[in-house]
């Protein structure tokens, strides 16, 4: 499993707290499947900084863990 995604699943708390238990399991299962099929170098960009306008460049984020974008 991709170590970055595995770390998300094991240690991170979701930014979206209003999901039902079923919805949480579905999102985490989907992220787990992604982690199982991508290589270690899949996330070769840095994680989006907390203040996303503080620095220029390309970044990645996983909305369930990095933001509440799923609701907008």
pLDDT number for residue 71: 60
Residue 41 to residue 46: CA distance in whole angstroms: 12
**Token digits for 18?**
């209003």
pLDDT per residue of the chain (72 residues) written in tens, 0 to 9: 999 999 999 999 998 888 899 999 999 999 999 999 999 889 899 998 888 888 899 998 888 888 877 765
pLDDT number for residue 30: 94
Query: Which string of DSSP letters, residue by residue, matches 2-68?
Result: -HHHHHHHHHPPPS-----HHHHHHHHHHHHHHHHHS-TTS--SPBPPSSTTSS-S--B--HHHH--
pLDDT number for residue 7: 93
Residue 4 to residue 14: CA distance in whole angstroms: 15
pLDDT number for residue 66: 86
pLDDT number for residue 37: 96
């Amino acid at each position: 499993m991709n170590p970055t995604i595995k770390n998300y699943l094991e240690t991170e708390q979701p930014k979206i707290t209003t999901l039902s238990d079923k919805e949480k399991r579905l999102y985490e299962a989907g992220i787990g499947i992604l982690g199982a099929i991508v290589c270690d170098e899949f996330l070769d960009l840095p994680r989006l900084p907390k203040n996303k306008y503080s620095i220029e460049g390309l970044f990645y984020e996983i909305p369930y863990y990095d933001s509440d974008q799923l609701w907008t």
